[in-house]
Amino acid sequence: MAKLHFENIKISGIVTTTGDKKVTIEEEASNYGYNEKMVKRLKKRMGFNSRYVVSDDNICTSDLCIQSSEVIFEKFDKSDVEALIFVTQTPDYKAPSTAIIMADRLGLGNDVIAYDINLGCSGFIFGLLQAYTLINSGLKSVLLCVGDISSDFSYYKDKNLTPLMGDAGSAILIEKKEGFNGDFVLHSDGSGYKHLIIPDGGCRNPFSEESLKEKEFENGIRRDLDLYMDGGEIFNFTIKVVPKMFDELFEYAKISKDEIDYFVLHQANKYILQNITKRLEIDEDKLPMDTMTIYGNQNSASIPGTINGFLEKEFQNRKKVVFAGFGIGLSWGACVVDLENVYTPKIRRYNEKR
């Protein structure tokens, strides 16, 4: 387990952009073979309701993150940014790195460090760690962009996964600032990589005609070019590792859970978050859990998306906040940070007029 402590680093801005098209579970029920009774049960138990996706196949995660970044730069000077990190599973191209293209689109200049990280549900924590590390090494300011066009890899007939997934891209500005500290714990376990995977399209299983063929499984229909999720294994993994991870974080940071103002977790689904809340004996007011219900599971953007969606007015005064992400890899991580006077405007759709 990696444990890291940082001093004098601050999150100054968080902006999130969702897909521009809202779809409801009722509108998509026929794709999954759901009847009215099943829809009602899934809405109550899992939190299925609506999600936001992009309306055009040509809209990329980078486009959502660029919009979020431009809002950041209405408030902050982009000339201070010395690195751009892009965490995504849906880059513009297989090569080159999308972060380099984004830095050019944003006019950040050719002295900026820019690179991609291929992670999903835990990606915000790992990306934040990278940003903190770069600033700890001497950089002034880092722009962290996170998110996915999840509708790109979730097949429309996959009733196990697709009703959960939303499209979003966030931009987070991290700066050198006296008096703001952060503590991180992180893990990874590749023995469970097959529980959440896109089987085809990489070097191990190259794309072929077979990759595009529909295949019927117990929990839906998908192709080998789409994301597969073993829901039972992922649920068991989450319930096993997340409570233990919090114990490790609290011990390392020398704090108690009662000192935490908010727990902002990856918004996998409402059922998982409710189970974590019970196991940790946390007041539900401290752990928002409606992001997936309204916007969909936003992968690495779900933590910043939750802040912009539900906590946008909470960080004018100092708050102690725990972030935690868990999922693909398998990978999981958490951190506790101080947030104060953070620019967190309300979440917006792509191309939505302000």
Residues recognised as catalytic: 121, 266, 297
Distances (CA, A) of 153 to 29, 50, 199, 261, 283: 19, 18, 11, 35, 35
Note whether 194 and 80 are within 8 A (CB).
Answer: no
Note whether 75 and 96 are within 8 A (CB).
Answer: no
Pick the closest to residue 248 from 303, 191, 183, 188 (CA basis). 183
Distance, in Å, from the CA atom of 289 to the CA atom of 272, rounded to the nearest integer, reads: 10
Pick the closest to residue 9 from 175, 228, 200, 209 (CA basis). 175
Pick the closest to residue 214 from 231, 202, 226, 205 (CA basis). 226
User: Which residues share a beta bridge with 21?
Assistant: 53
Q: For the CA atoms of 101, 104, 108, 112, what is the dihedral angle to 10 degrees? A: 50
Distance, in Å, from the CA atom of 156 to the CA atom of 32, rounded to the nearest integer, reads: 8
Beta strands in 62-112 (DSSP E): 83-87
Note whether 91 and 147 are within 8 A (CB).
Answer: no
Distance, in Å, from the CA atom of 219 to the CA atom of 125, rounded to the nearest integer, reads: 30
Distances (CA, A) of 57 to 19, 53, 151, 217: 11, 10, 9, 26
**Token match 């590792």: residue?**
241
